[in-house]
Structure 1
Amino acid sequence: MPQPAPADVDLLHRLVAIESRSGQEHDAVAELCREMTARGFAAAPDAAGSAVGVIGTGATKIVLLGHIDTVPGRIAVRIEDGVLHGRGAVDAKGPLCAFVCAAQAAIAAGANATITVVGAAGEEAIGSVGANAVAAWPAPDLCIIGEPSGWDALCLGYRGTLSLFYRLRRPARHSAGPGESVAEEAIAFWNALRAELDVRNQGAAGSFQRIGHALRAFNTGGDGLHDHATLSIGLRLPPGLDVEAVLIRLHDLAGDATITVDGCQEGYRSAKQSPLVPPFLRAIRAAGGAPRFTLKLGTSDMTVVGPVWRCPIVAYGPGDAALDHTPDERIVLADYARAIRVLTDVLVAS
């Protein structure tokens, strides 16, 4: 079973050990910049608070876009039986550290490329501030997004996201009086929204093409004069969806309640004919794997830079995405080693 170099394990262990919730990435960014500088990168934080390192001067411009922030929740950082446990080990410091290690190895092996590694800030927060700053750069020749696809899998697409609030305000009423409470009216809206999505999802070719929905929070209250209800809602958007038409329909269903959009990012999907696909397939097979393709039901920074750059783009990285955001987040170090090898081969071949 392959094992990563001690220095590569140490990098991952140190970075996972530094808490870096969205908006609190500074210490982790500083550490990653120090590490990249020590490995021969020109590295510094950018204006958005992301870590950016450049190595090589070759003709092919490649951006390896990972993210350094994590969701909340501290997990004791430790290595047991070849497995590193800790918040961010999978999502997505494992893929990010694999980017750094592979970029250094590829340039040392003679890759004719200029490779930029980004540890973006704010990917887990609405607005993805780091990736939106990067999207303003000139388009590279190739881009790989650092997310846990599994070392032997290549992710070709992600659904987008629509985050919104439903707010209803009514004159205060006695609970024994006639009519519906604001809570009941809000529930009726939620049920109508779900029924609308069921209609729109009819005939969808699999879960990736369906509009997903989640009721994130439901709050009611009042001040004695008025009662209010607030729903926080998240929708997952398949590529190609007419988002404006969906929003118009949501406003219709809401009646005199207000709908406020908190963030919107449309879905994005690459084709299997992408020039990045063949080198990944060869590299995964060379490392002993049987390559496979995935489409993710969540979202990532692919949906931010993909529509802007329109360059060949895929997502790749070690780790089991089912462990994202869970108390059991962990990464198998042998898979981390395999991913570094695969990425190195891809970068040399590109």
Structure 2
Amino acid sequence: MTDTEARELLETLVSIPSPSGEEQEAAEALAAFFERHDREVYIDEVGNVRAPADDSVLYTSHIDTVPGDIPVRIEEGEDGPELWGRGSVDATGPLVALAVAAVREGVSFVGVVGEETESRGARFLVEDRAEPDAVVNGEPSGWDGLTLGYRGIVQGTYVATSESGHSSRPDANAIQDAIRWWSSVEKEFESDPYDPVFESVTAKPVDIEGGPTEDGLAVESTMRVQLRVPPSLTCEAVRTRADDHLDNGHVNWTDAVPPTMQSPRTPVARAFRVAIRNQGGDPRLLRKTGTSDMNLFAGAWDCPMVTYGPGDSELDHAPNEHLPLRELDRATAVLESVAETLT
């Protein structure tokens, strides 16, 4: 059945630009939705929208999106109308489905900020409130999919300095040191192409700069790097293996979020499988190669949890990001059923 309320809230929120750090207007619109339903709601000191209620299950997703101007519109697709716009999939669609289900079933809800950058909302949340009985984190999985695992991540910045000299000299400069170190790191974590990506370390440079210093007496290089960590390894082990290849230079490791793999046999996962089947779907159990706020929740809280939400994750951050509205309807119904079961 068409869920008019969910569709209208989705269009409202997608129409409000909310890149990380600029979530206030969208947060206020989301809080107003809870106020219209006579729910207790407030915006906390970091910008999270908090609607406390029955903690049998905490529904949570992120308000922020990545930058990108996609004109908000509804177009007819293969499965009916689709809403186009930045955030429709990642993760305003899941956010709306969770919010609407939370209002209808009376469970706790938090819309967090900053997930696309440093996850400041989730980090504040786990320090500021007690552990719930269960968590459903909102990210696109498809209405019939259930995400149980995410790889972790370690991030850092490589820094090196060398004396300046004529380019004809054979001695390596700091730029070469950076390139050689990163080549060694990539070789260290090479995997068989037939191995699942989820079980491998993915090493990516995300930014690099280098050249002579202003006084011309030295050469400097900096490189920001990310390494995705599978559940078979720890963040510390991956950092150590990367550091072992250092010659000149050092790495300032700035962040480490452990991987997580949840059991498919928890009460939360079982409730989702039943709810998806009741909506006519065949449940799919997923493992994602990225990292989400669920990693942080799993590291802080010893309770069952899953990640769920409408949308095709292949459209995350894409210029053609859009969400079929029938998928939003189905996901909202699934989340209502799960909340009813868990409470």
TM norm structure 2: 0.93
| Aligned partner letter, 2:46 | A
Find the residue that maps to 1:91 and give its secondary structure.
coil
What residue in structure 1 maps to residue 210 of structure 2? 220
What residue in structure 1 maps to residue 121 of structure 2? 130
* Equivalent runs, 1:300-319 vs 2, <5 Å: 300-319=292-311
For residues 319 and 242 of structure 1, the distance between their equivalents in structure 2, rounded to whole angstroms, comes to 30
What residue in structure 2 maps to residue 103 of structure 1? 102
Find the residue that maps to 2:299 and give its secondary structure.
helix
For residues 141 and 105 of structure 2, the distance between their equivalents in structure 1, rounded to whole angstroms, comes to 21
What residue in structure 1 maps to residue 196 of structure 2? 206
What residue in structure 2 maps to residue 75 of structure 1? 70
More deviation in 291-300 or 179-188? Answer: 179-188
For residues 205 and 122 of structure 2, the distance between their equivalents in structure 1, rounded to whole angstroms, comes to 26
- How far the C-alpha of 1:40 sits from its partner, in A, is 2.6
Deviation readout 1:113-156 (Å, 9 max, x if unpaired): xx111110111112x11101111221111100000011001000
What residue in structure 1 maps to residue 253 of structure 2? 261
Q: How many residues align?
A: 335
| Aligned partner letter, 2:304 | P
What residue in structure 2 maps to residue 36 of structure 1? 34
* Equivalent runs, 1:97-246 vs 2, <5 Å: 97-107=96-106, 115-126=107-118, 128-136=119-127, 137-198=129-190, 201=191, 206-223=196-213, 224-246=216-238
- How far the C-alpha of 1:312 sits from its partner, in A, is 0.8
Deviation readout 1:74-106 (Å, 9 max, x if unpaired): 111111111111111111010000011112222
Whether 2:331 is the aligned partner of 1:333: answer no
- How high is the sequence identity, in percent, across the aligned residues? 36
- How far the C-alpha of 1:244 sits from its partner, in A, is 2.0
For residues 146 and 245 of structure 1, the distance between their equivalents in structure 2, rounded to whole angstroms, comes to 29
Find the residue that maps to 1:249 and give its secondary structure.
helix
The root-mean-square deviation of aligned C-alpha atoms, in Å, is 1.6
TM norm structure 1: 0.92
For residues 139 and 239 of structure 1, the distance between their equivalents in structure 2, rounded to whole angstroms, comes to 23
For residues 237 and 333 of structure 2, the distance between their equivalents in structure 1, rounded to whole angstroms, comes to 45
| Aligned partner letter, 2:210 | T
- How far the C-alpha of 1:202 sits from its partner, in A, is 6.3
Find the residue that maps to 2:186 and give its secondary structure.
helix
- How far the C-alpha of 1:205 sits from its partner, in A, is 6.0
What residue in structure 2 maps to residue 110 of structure 1? none
For residues 203 and 17 of structure 1, the distance between their equivalents in structure 2, rounded to whole angstroms, comes to 41
Work out whether residues 154 and 239 of structure 2, in 8 Å CA contact, stay in contact via their aligned partners in 1. Answer: no
Whether 2:319 is the aligned partner of 1:324: answer no
| Aligned partner letter, 2:29 | E
- How far the C-alpha of 1:344 sits from its partner, in A, is 0.5
Work out whether residues 204 and 210 of structure 1, in 8 Å CA contact, stay in contact via their aligned partners in 2. Answer: no
